[in-house]
Structures are given as structure tokens and as C-alpha cells.
Chains A and B, each alone.
Chain A
């Protein structure tokens, strides 16, 4: 491969780059091969294929781009984003519903046991005042049992709620960022 062929192919592989970046890279490699002078052929072999050289440049510039430029929010972005959101609502509504159902179930379970802690002993005492000691002690026992269960499950339930809420929120934020641009997220 001659110097010119190398440079030509390199440029063809850099078309996705911004013009300024492309010119910079091309100037660098043009100069580089001129510096190599008589050993330009050797330099070309050492550099590898124009494709691989281009890939190196492109991957570095992608890193750079993703660091600083987020899609900017504007009217057409918001409209397009809203359409996509509307079109995909069968999916995310199901997810939202499942999440609500999960939170609801967890809250109900914990509350059921927690309220039983108070109600069962009260009922037990009422039985005892009527002389039904067996039933009364049974209910007080049930109250204690519920207290134990409540202590065991409230924390894992709360954690599960927090965890699912957090991870869903994160996903939602990422998706919204992509749809609407950075500015909409506080």
C-alpha cells in the first residue's frame, strides 16, 4: 500500500467524524508519514490497516462525545418523546401497575400483622372478662405471634419496596433523558 492509498482509505473510514476532527487526524497522519520519509512503507505496515487506525480514532472520539454532549431538549424532541412514550404505554403501564400492586401487597401484609398485634390482645381481654380464659389466652398468643412476624418482615418488605422503586426510577430517568434530553430531569 502506498502512502496515498493509505491516507485515502483512512479518510474514507473517518467520514463519521466531525470535519474538524477528521482534518486534524488526516493532517497528523499525513505529516507522520512524511516524517517517516524513506521508511514510510515500514511505518504503514506498523500502523496496521487504515480501518484499524480509523477505529482507534473513532473510539476515542466517541468516549469524548459521550462525556460532554447530551442531546439537547427542544420542542421537536419533546413532541417526538411524547409520541414514543404514548406508543409504548402498554408496556410501561403494565410495569407501573405491577409496581403499584407489589407495593400495595407488601403494605397490606405488614399492616395486617401490625394491626393484629393490637386487636388480638384486646379481643383476648374481652373474652377473659366474659370468663372465656382459653379463648382469651389464645388471642393474646396470636397477638404475640403477629408481633414476632411483624418484626421479622417489616424491614425486608420496606427494603424490597425501596429497591424496586429506586431501580425503576433510575430506568425511568435514563429513558426520559434519552427521549427528552437532559434538561427535563432535575
Chain B
């Protein structure tokens, strides 16, 4: 219902990868559980975060093939801290306007 910004998407991806090392397909599924984004949105986001040095990749064999895992870097962690702070602030501001008047 609410459109998701590219900054918020970055934040979500960083948070997921921060929780555990994970791979593209799973990141996409988990993001899609929360917000409505096209499946094709995630690759460019992951690639950008990787190029910016927020994420790094490594390959791990899985069932006889390769699986590319993402891992958060120190820079990524710093970005995530900032994102969390910004989000908290943003949430408070929105809540302040959206809250129901107390009728008591």
C-alpha cells in the first residue's frame, strides 16, 4: 500500500544480511513477505550495496552447485545503524501525525 523508497529497501536488505549470511533468492523472498516489490528489484540493490562496500559476497557449494552468499561489512553495519536511527525518527514523525486523538 505504501510505496517503498530505495533507501528503505537498502536498509531492509542490510538488516537481513546483518542477521545472518544469506543469498539472493532468500533475501528476495523475505523482503517480499514484508513489502510489495518486484522480484527483479533486488539484484540491482544487492549489486549496488556490494559496489559501495556495504556488502561482500562469497561462494559456497550447495547441492553440487554454487550459491553466492552476502555478508555485511563494517561499512554496511555503520550504514545500518544510521538507517535504524533515521527510520526511528521518521516513524515518530509519521506516528505523531497519524495518531488518533485521545477521546477521554
Contacts and interface: CB of A to CB of B under 8 A. Distances in A.
Interface in A14-72: 21, 24-25, 27-29, 31-32, 34-36, 43, 46-48, 52-53, 56-57, 59-61, 64
Interface residues of B, number: 19
Q: Is the interface of A mostly helix, strand, loop or mixed?
A: helix
Contacts, number: 57
A54 to B, nearest CB: 9
B58 interface: no
Given A35-B23, A36-B25, A29 B43 contact: yes
A25 B44 CA distance: 9
B48 A64 contact: yes
Interface residues of A, number: 23
A14 to B, nearest CB: 11
A47 B23 contact: no
B40 A48 contact: yes
B40 A52 contact: yes
Interface string B14-38: 0000000001111010000000001
Interface in B49-97: 51, 65-68
3 cross-chain pairs, A with B, having the tightest CB-CB distances, nearest first = A35-B25, A60-B44, A53-B40
